[in-house]
Amino acid sequence: MSIITLHRSKFFQTLIRERQVRFGFSVTLIVVLFALLGPLFAPQNATALVGFTYGTVDQNALLGYDYIGHDVWSRLLHGGQSIIWMSVAASFIALLIGSALGLLAALAKKKTDQFITWLTDIFMAFPDLILVLLIVSMLGRDPWLIVVTVSIAFIPAVIRLARGVALNIVEQEYVETAKILGFSKLYILFREILPNMLTPLLIHLGVMLTWAVGMLSGLAFLGYGVAPPAADWGLMINENRAGLLIQPWAVLAPVLLIALFALGTNVLAEGVGRAAARIEEK
């Protein structure tokens, strides 16, 4: 049986003891809470013009003013929600659809497997960012459209992972035993196969969150993400890059938060992987 099925309490105990898991979870949680609760503590409206262009730090603006006089601190507090929810939504959509198609490829007939694999190879031939830019430039920059587009870019990798893991699992003795005992296909799928796939898929989810925040920030920087005057960390970098030497906080503050979120999710995913490997060794 899977790590999570047979050693659930042991697995979570190992997770808690893993230093990388604690560090990655703490950093990720801090950034997420900052993004979600930030608007409640913002002293100014995100779109209010309250200062001079590239104004320096003063008593009314902890991080100074941006390229047209917005309070940088207020826009920073407002700007995390979009990138966080879009990253999480794109990653989960890719995980659900990719896992389902990967399972279908592994368990279905040969022609279905070949078709899904062929389609996956075609999409993986395109670099993710180029594919997303192509779709967004043609269809628009609505937030949900961007989320779906980013998830489409991630789905092929999830399909290959899920298919590979599922092909290995269906050959295991406990699956063959369940078939011999007469359990239904749905029972075998949900009680024997899926639990064994959770660990690698969850690790990949953490990696996708890192990819998603980088891609969404890049889209906003290139002008294909959240549209101004809305506050967004990636958009803030693009808007204020011309004044980097005059007012660096307008660029450095969102860069730091994006980097921390990417670092936290990446370290968390790696820590979960290490914990899973230790359980398997035992």
| pLDDT block averages, 10 residues each, the chain of length 282 | 50 76 93 94 91 89 92 94 93 94 86 89 83 83 89 93 89 79 78 82 90 89 83 92 92 95 91 75 58
Cis ω before 127 (30° cut-off from 0): no
Q: At residue 194, what are phi and psi to the nearest 5 degrees?
A: -60, -45
CB 27 within 8 A of CB 210: no
CA distance 151 to 123: 12
Please report the DSSP string for the chain in residue order: --HHHHSHHHHHHHHHH-HHHHHHHHHHHHHHHHHHHHHHH-SS-TT-B-S-TT---BTTBTT-B-TTSBBHHHHHHHTHHHHHHHHHHHHHHHHHHHHHHHHHHHHS-HHHHHHHHHHHHHHHTS-HHHHHHHHHHHH---HHHHHHHHHHHHHHHHHHHHHHHHHHHTTSHHHHHHHHTT--HHHHIIIIIHHHHHHHHHHHHHHHHHHHHHHHHHHHHHT-SSPTTS--HHHHHHHHGGGTTT-THHHHHHHHHHHHHHHHHHHHHHHHHHHHHHHHH-
118 Ramachandran zone, left/alpha/beta (phi>0; psi -120 to 50):
alpha
54 Ramachandran zone, left/alpha/beta (phi>0; psi -120 to 50):
left
Number of domain units in the chain: 1
pLDDT at 8: 56
pLDDT at 279: 66
Q: At residue 224, what are phi and psi to the nearest 5 degrees?
A: -115, 10
CA distance 76 to 83: 12
What's the CATH code of the domain at 60? 1.10.3720.10
CA 4 vs. chain centroid, Å, equals 22
Q: Which structural domain range is residue 252 located in?
A: 3-281
Pick from 252, 231, 234: which is nearest to 48 by CA? Answer: 231
pLDDT at 13: 72
